[in-house]
Structure 1
Amino acid sequence: MPAGRPTIYVDADACPVKGEVVRVAERHGLPVVFVSNGGLRPARDPLIRHVVVPGKADAADDWIVENGEAGDIAVTADVLLVARLVTKGLHVLGPTGRTFTPETIGMDVAMRNLKQDLRESGQIKGYNAGFTARDRSAFLQALEIAVRRALQPQ
């Protein structure tokens, strides 16, 4: 992996934008690490690495937190993982292009917990909106912005 360049970490098990991550990373010459509990198809590109962690809960999250550094980029839909990464100084975005920041993460965690409580009490159904072409486009734009920010000298 190139020294001094940000790495893109992907919480890969259910990530719908792996291909988009690879495209943007290749354009900028950035390393990508896909972290999952199951096997993924290996890549021939030396800048792309696959890490398979044990099947225990949060093993992929823990690995990303332990290995990610301030200035790196992470892609995940897991708000609790986002909270851990934002506090470390990573640029974090969701697969729909949503960018998470230290200023917004408190509300994001609170909303996640509220929705979980409402689902558990039966007051709302547990369905997420389907992933759309608009989400994919928003993600590509957000990742490009995150990469440019990560590449700026600090």
Structure 2
Amino acid sequence: MHIFIDGDGCPVKDAVIEIAKKNQVPVKIVTSFSHFTTKDLSEQVSFIYVDDGQDAADYRIIKEIQAGDILVTQDYGLAALALSKKSVVLHQTGFEYSADNMDILLESRYFGAMQRKQGKKTKGPKAFTEKDRENFKRLLRTKIHGKMHK
């Protein structure tokens, strides 16, 4: 099992690394070269750098991820693709993507895009809160422990 992070703009990277380190689970952060870092992280954390092109990180994640791996992303399209590969997919606010909620999420994204294309204003995502972070950490711990004790 690996944990993949859709790294550009992910507010829970440090939380993932902390929890993964305690559970000895390797983490792969997929991010664009424009987010290159020399930050010294745990030896079980590796970076996969991709071009800045649209969806480059998504394509690389889908190429690398395997059944049973965990993905952290806020991208509904990427989440749908990863679910089809039998991965566990978590949103940074602490909910798990599933076949049951994916259709409504993708539909909502589509209708929002159509509204914006017509020049209408739509609400953006709510601000990320400390409660979101705690919900995410709780869910990630649960998923890791569930996979380790199967």
- Asked whether the two chains share a fold, i.e. TM above 0.5, the reply is yes
**Structure 1: gaps of 5 or more residues:** 1-5
Q: Bigger shift: 115-124 or 87-96?
A: 115-124
| 1:102 alignment partner, one of 99, 104, 127 | 99
**Partners in 1 of 2:147 and 2:119 — Cα distance?**
42
* 1:26 and 2:21 aligned: yes
Pairing partner for 2:69 from 68, 72, 80? 72
Q: Give the deviation of 1:149 after TM superposition.
A: 2.7
Distance (Å, rounded) in 2 between the aligned partners of 1:41 and 1:20: 19
Across the aligned residues of Structure 1 and Structure 2, the Cα RMSD in angstroms comes to 1.4
Is the CA contact 1:119–1:126 (under 8 Å) kept in the aligned structure 2? no
Show the 5 A alignment for 1:102-121: 102-121=99-118
Taking the aligned partners of 1:120 and 1:149, their CA distance within structure 2 comes to 42
Q: If the length of structure 1 is used for normalisation, what is the TM-score?
A: 0.89
Alignment check: 8 A CA contact 2:31 2:50 kept: yes
Question: Distance between the aligned counterparts of 1:98 and 1:137, measured in 2?
Answer: 11
Q: Write the mapping of 1:1-150 to structure 2, written as runs, cut at 5 A.
A: 6-37=1-32, 38-150=35-147
Q: Percent identity?
A: 28
Shift of 1:53: 0.5
Q: Deviations over 1:31-90 (max 9, x none)?
A: 000110121343342200011101111111111100000000000000000000011010
Give the distance between the partners of 2:91 and 2:140, measured in 1 at CA.
9
Query: Which runs of no fewer than 5 residues in structure 2 stay unpaired?
Result: none
Q: Distance in 1 between matches of 2:122 and 2:104?
A: 21
Structure 1 residues 42, 51: CA separation in 2 closer, same or farther (over 3 Å shift)? Answer: farther
Q: Secondary structure at the match of 2:100?
A: coil
Supply the AA of the counterpart residue of 2:76: V
Q: Give me the whole-angstrom Cα distance separating, in 1, the residues matched to 2:101 and 2:70.
A: 17
Q: What's the TM-score, normalizing by structure 2?
A: 0.92
